[in-house]
């Protein structure tokens, strides 16, 4: 049976117009529709094993101009049965499906959940429309972008602008990573529809806005940036668990957070001023930490020195008082001896700390200078008395001999020019400058 057959639409026993001697030219028009339908029925009957009845014009019955389309042959029914069986087999075979590793198949019967199949491999269910299935990847780490798309420069201001606790606005872009842990809850509890990630995005916005709204802008930008992300992750998981979304939030990462572009310059100036203030405060504290301990140490040293001086003065005064009482007792026993002893001790202390100058009133007040202090240092403490005696034999007197007045100088000792040229030393000046032992 071919449509290119030139005799299509004509009876097999019918001759062409040229064979019958017709006066019509060849290919003068399309074939007759009735003849075309009868020829189609005849060829279809021969295809299923029926020979057809050529005596009644291809099986046409009286009163039916186009004949019987299905025919009355039993072979036609067998062929249709074979086609129907093949269709049923193909329909039943459509129930086979493959579950990949890391996926789970949710099987539904007439739209109602029937079972969850997480076994990887080749599986069968009742064919559609009785049962259907939907594959869900439960191991895939999904990522949702909030406040931007694909790049932080492609901002979505409706999602990124957040109000802080001090009535400031921050521009925040962050990403949420999550997994689907319960496919049944994910598909049936919240009706994700054409945009299944919209539930995750709204939960993320709610959690982040509540977290940022409880903090100052400096805490969000600098001090507690990581802590804000962790708190928002926990709050987002609580919201999704409340809605039974079957989602586990793995991580919330803040990609970028900054003031809005309109006020970013002013905010940077304010931030620099705050940093300068902190720097000056730290410098002042460092200077105070350096000066205050030194001042406290100096004050403690002065207090200790004053206390030591106090104790020394008290001890000296106590010793002087005790000595005076002892002297008083001895003076009561022998007044003259005690008076002379005190005088001699006083003169010894006076002349020990002063230079010795002797004046000879008999020789027209010529000065005679004897460096007795140096002589005493040379001779030593042991021969001091002998030196004084030898000096007295040469015309001088010891200090004790001048109690009644100035000691006489020998008349034969001339005064040298060097002695006359020396200035006279006032012994009272030395008495003022000496230190009391």
pLDDT tens per residue across span 144-194: 999 998 888 888 889 899 999 888 889 999 999 999 998 888 888 877 667
| Domain of 107, in residue numbers | 96-137
Chain-centroid distance, C-alpha 353:
77
Reported confidence tier of residue 5, pLDDT bands at 50, 70, 90: low
> What's the pTM?
0.48
Same domain, 151 and 251: yes
Instruction: Decide if 347 is inside a domain.
Output: no
Q: How many domains does the chain have?
A: 5
Q: Phi first, then psi: what are they for 85, rounded to 5°?
A: -65, -40
Q: Is 290 exposed, middle or buried (0-12, 13-18, 19+ CB in 10 A)?
A: exposed
Please tell me the predicted confidence (pLDDT) of residue 369: 60
Instruction: Decide if 12 is inside a domain.
Output: yes
Please tell me the predicted confidence (pLDDT) of residue 381: 53
Percent of the chain predicted with pLDDT > 90:
24
Dihedral angle over CA of 37, 42, 47, 49, nearest 10: 150
Same domain, 112 and 77: no
Same domain, 4 and 86: yes
Same domain, 58 and 71: yes
Same domain, 312 and 378: no
- 191-218 pLDDT per residue, tens: 766 778 888 999 999 999 999 999 998 8
The whole-angstrom separation of Cα 207 and Cα 195 is: 20
Reported confidence tier of residue 232, pLDDT bands at 50, 70, 90: very high
Reported confidence tier of residue 47, pLDDT bands at 50, 70, 90: low
Name, in order, each residue with C-beta under 8 angstroms of 298's C-beta and a sequence gap of 6 or more.
none
Same domain, 122 and 182: no
Where a domain ends, among 216, 240, 259? 259
Question: Strand pairing partners for 369?
Answer: 357
Give the residue among 112, 202, 220 at the shortest CA–CA distance from 162: 220
Same domain, 129 and 190: no
Q: Tell me which range, 150-159, 315-324, 346-355, is most confidently predicted by mean pLDDT.
A: 315-324
H-helix or E-strand spanning residue 426: none
Please tell me the predicted confidence (pLDDT) of residue 230: 93
Instruction: Decide if 338 is inside a domain.
Output: no
Same domain, 81 and 3: yes
- Residue 111 has which token pair? 């739209």
Range of lowest pLDDT (212-221, 286-295, 318-327, 421-430): 421-430
Same domain, 119 and 159: no
- Residue 300 has which token pair? 């403690």
Same domain, 26 and 81: yes
Instruction: Decide if 339 is inside a domain.
Output: no
Same domain, 152 and 239: yes
- Residue 213 has which token pair? 């709204």
Query: What average pLDDT does range 358-387 have in this prediction?
Result: 60
Q: Is 216 exposed, middle or buried (0-12, 13-18, 19+ CB in 10 A)?
A: middle
Same domain, 401 and 412: yes
Say whether 303 sits in a helix, a strand or coil. helix
Query: What average pLDDT does range 303-314 have in this prediction?
Result: 94
- Residue 61 has which token pair? 């019955």
Instruction: Decide if 348 is inside a domain.
Output: no
The whole-angstrom separation of Cα 41 and Cα 52 is: 9
Query: What average pLDDT does range 266-288 have in this prediction?
Result: 90
Name, in order, each residue with C-beta under 8 angstroms of 360's C-beta and a sequence gap of 6 or more.
366, 368, 408, 409, 410, 413
- Residue 63 has which token pair? 């009163």
Instruction: Decide if 343 is inside a domain.
Output: no
């Amino acid at each position: 049976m071919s449509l290119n057959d030139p005799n299509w639409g004509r009876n097999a026993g019918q001759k062409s117009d040229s064979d019958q001697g017709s006066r019509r030219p060849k290919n003068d028009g399309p074939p007759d529709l009735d003849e075309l339908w009868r020829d189609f029925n005849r060829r279809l009957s021969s295809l299923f094993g029926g020979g057809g009845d050529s005596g009644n014009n291809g099986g046409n019955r009286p009163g039916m101009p186009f004949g019987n389309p299905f025919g009355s042959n039993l072979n036609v029914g067998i062929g249709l049965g074979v086609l129907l069986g093949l269709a049923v087999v193909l329909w039943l075979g459509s129930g086979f499906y493959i579950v990949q590793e890391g996926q789970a198949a949710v099987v539904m019967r007439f739209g109602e959940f029937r079972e969850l199949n997480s076994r990887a491999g080749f599986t069968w269910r009742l064919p559609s429309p009785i049962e259907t299935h939907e594959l869900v990847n439960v191991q895939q780490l999904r990522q949702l972008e909030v406040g931007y798309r694909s790049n932080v420069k492609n901002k979505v201001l409706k999602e990124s602008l957040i109000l802080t606790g001090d009535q400031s606005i921050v521009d925040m872009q962050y990403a949420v990573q999550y997994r689907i842990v319960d496919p049944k809850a994910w598909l049936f509890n919240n009706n994700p529809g054409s945009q299944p990630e919209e539930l995750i995005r709204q939960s993320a916005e709610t959690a982040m806005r509540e977290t940022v709204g409880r903090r100052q802008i400096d805490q969000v930008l600098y001090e507690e940036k990581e802590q804000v992300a962790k708190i928002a992750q926990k709050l987002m998981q609580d919201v999704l668990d409340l809605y039974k979304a079957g989602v586990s939030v793995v991580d919330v990462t803040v990609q970028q957070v900054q003031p809005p572009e309109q006020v970013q310059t002013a905010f940077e100036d304010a931030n620099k001023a705050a940093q300068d203030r902190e720097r000056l405060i730290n410098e002042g504290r460092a200077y105070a930490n350096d000066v205050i301990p030194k001042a406290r140490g100096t004050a403690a040293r002065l207090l200790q020195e004053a206390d030591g001086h106090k104790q020394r003065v008290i001890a000296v005064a106590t010793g002087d008082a005790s000595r005076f009482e002892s002297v008083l007792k001895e003076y009561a026993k022998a007044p003259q001896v005690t008076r002379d002893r005190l005088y001699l001790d006083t003169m010894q202390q006076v002349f020990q700390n002063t230079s010795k100058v002797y004046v000879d009133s008999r020789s027209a007040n010529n000065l005679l200078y004897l460096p007795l202090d140096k002589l005493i240092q040379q001779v030593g403490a042991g021969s001091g008395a002998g030196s004084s005696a030898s000096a007295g034999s040469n015309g001088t007197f010891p200090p004790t001999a001048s109690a009644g007045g100035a000691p006489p100088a020998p008349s034969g000792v001339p005064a040298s020019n060097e002695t006359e040229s020396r200035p006279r030393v006032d012994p009272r000046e030395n008495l003022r400058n000496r230190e009391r032992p």
